[in-house]
């Protein structure tokens, strides 16, 4: 079966820094795939290359078999992306942004308007639909970014930290929406630092450390009978027992 997302030897160097070192992953269709790793591990760089936002030095990325760099239009039609630090047109209202992007993605005016209204309501942004995006809070920007990823009805979602800065009620809504998407045959790849959330939502997980895949596969295989947090700490070799605060703090 063709993978929803296939990363094949992806590599990226920034000057002397090797950010991603031949990362290969296969995301089965219909799976909910979590990407975890310490700060600076290479998650954002890998996801950016996976969806065609950053050109890799080595390797390939394929969305349902379509090479992201050989056929960017074909690949992008199949994937919805929530990138890290998404740059949005700030001088549009939330509703204008969604209808504009919907039209850019080939939806007719009526469909773009209807989908924009539905997404604004589901994501509890309807009260702010006439507010300029520049005036949105961090969490609201995350939610409108998620809405832009969903607009064209892709079969794969690639979401970089979708729950960061999102309030608990909105997080529940987004979780339910993503679960429904996967239950309906969609595939999700998301990065997160919240192990409990990854354990609850995801059926597959990859641990990235130092630009490499430390472990990847079905959640239970990677956890190996432990909590994901314990396994994560073990895999990345952190010695949390030895961690001390600065000597001058609260002394
Ligand atoms: N544009 C850039 N120029 C130089 N170095 C970069 C650039 N982007 C990323 N890096 C470096 O590449 C490494 C991987 O960064 P990346 O953002 O992919 O990590 P991450 O796993 O997403 O981290 P976090 O969990 O903190 O978001 C880091 O060492 C980072 O400093």
Q: pLDDT for 83-135, tens place per residue? A: 887 788 889 999 999 999 999 999 999 999 999 999 999 999 999 999 999 99
Contacts of 18 by beta carbon, 8 Å cutoff, 6+ apart = 11, 12, 211
CA of 45 to the centre of ligand 1 (A): 6
pLDDT at 49 over 80: yes
CATH number for the region 5-86+155-242 comes to 3.40.50.300
Residue 241's pLDDT band, with cuts at 50, 70 and 90, is: low
| Ligand 1 pocket check for 45: Cβ under 6 Å | yes
| Ligand 1 pocket check for 207: Cβ under 6 Å | no
CA of 55 to the centre of ligand 1 (A): 15
Q: Is the ipTM of this complex over 0.90?
A: yes
Neighbours of 165 (CB within 10 A): 13
Average pLDDT, the chain: 93
Q: What is the pLDDT of residues 181-219, one digit of tens each?
A: 999 999 999 999 999 999 999 999 999 999 999 999 999
pLDDT at 136 over 70: yes
Averaged over 142-161, what is the pLDDT? Answer: 94
Q: Greater confidence, 88 or 66?
A: 66
> What is residue 89's predicted lDDT score, i.e. its pLDDT?
87
Nearest CA to ligand 1 atom 12: 19
Strands 156-160 and 32-36, by their bridges, are: unpaired
Q: Minimum mean pLDDT among 138-147, 190-199, 232-241: which range?
A: 232-241
pLDDT at 225 over 70: yes
CA of 234 to the centre of ligand 1 (A): 22
pLDDT at 60 over 80: yes
pLDDT at 239 over 80: no
- The atom number, within ligand 1, closest to the CA of 47 reads 18
Q: What is the per-residue burial (b if ≥16 Cβ within 10 Å, else e) of 124-140?
A: ebeebbeeebeebeeeb
Nearest CA to ligand 1 atom 25: 39
Rounded percentage of the chain residues whose pLDDT exceeds 70: 98
Nearest CA to ligand 1 atom 10: 19
- The DSSP result for 80-116, as a single string, is EEE-TT----TTSBHHHHHHHHHHHTT--HHHHHHHH
The SS3 call for residue 134 is: helix
Nearest CA to ligand 1 atom 28: 40
> What is residue 90's predicted lDDT score, i.e. its pLDDT?
87
- The atom number, within ligand 1, closest to the CA of 161 reads 27
CA of 81 to the centre of ligand 1 (A): 18
Q: What is the per-residue burial (b if ≥16 Cβ within 10 Å, else e) of 53-72?
A: bbebeebbbbbbebbbeeee
> What is residue 85's predicted lDDT score, i.e. its pLDDT?
79
| Ligand 1 pocket check for 34: Cβ under 6 Å | no
Q: Minimum mean pLDDT among 45-59, 62-76, 227-241: which range?
A: 227-241
Domain boundaries, the chain: 5-86+155-242
| Ligand 1 pocket check for 37: Cβ under 6 Å | yes
């Amino acid at each position: 079966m063709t993978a929803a997302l296939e990363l094949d030897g992806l590599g990226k160097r920034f000057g002397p820094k090797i950010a991603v070192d031949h990362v290969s992953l296969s995301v089965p269709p219909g799976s909910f795939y979590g990407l975890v790793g310490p700060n600076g591990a290479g998650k954002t760089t890998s996801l950016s290359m996976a969806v065609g936002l950053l050109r890799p030095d080595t390797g390939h990325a394929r969305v349902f078999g379509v090479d992201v760099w050989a056929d960017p239009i074909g690949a992008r039609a199949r994937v919805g992306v929530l990138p890290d630090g998404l740059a949005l047109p700030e001088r549009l209202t939330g509703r204008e942004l969604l209808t504009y992007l919907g039209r850019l993605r080939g939806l007719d005016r009526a469909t773009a308007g209807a989908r924009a209204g539905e997404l604004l309501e589901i994501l509890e942004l309807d009260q702010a639909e006439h507010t300029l995006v520049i005036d949105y809070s961090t969490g609201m920007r995350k939610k409108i970014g998620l809405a832009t990823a969903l607009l064209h009805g892709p079969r794969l979602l690639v979401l970089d930290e979708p729950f960061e800065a999102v309030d608990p009620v909105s997080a529940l809504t987004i979780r339910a929406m993503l679960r429904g998407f996967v239950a309906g045959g969609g595939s999700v790849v998301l990065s997160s630092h919240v192990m409990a959330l990854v354990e609850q939502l995801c059926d597959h997980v990859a641990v990235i450390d130092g630009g490499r895949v430390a472990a990847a596969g079905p959640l239970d295989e990677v956890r190996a009978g432990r909590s994901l947090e314990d396994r994560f700490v073990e895999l990345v070799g952190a010695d949390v027992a030895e961690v001390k605060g600065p000597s001058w703090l609260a002394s």
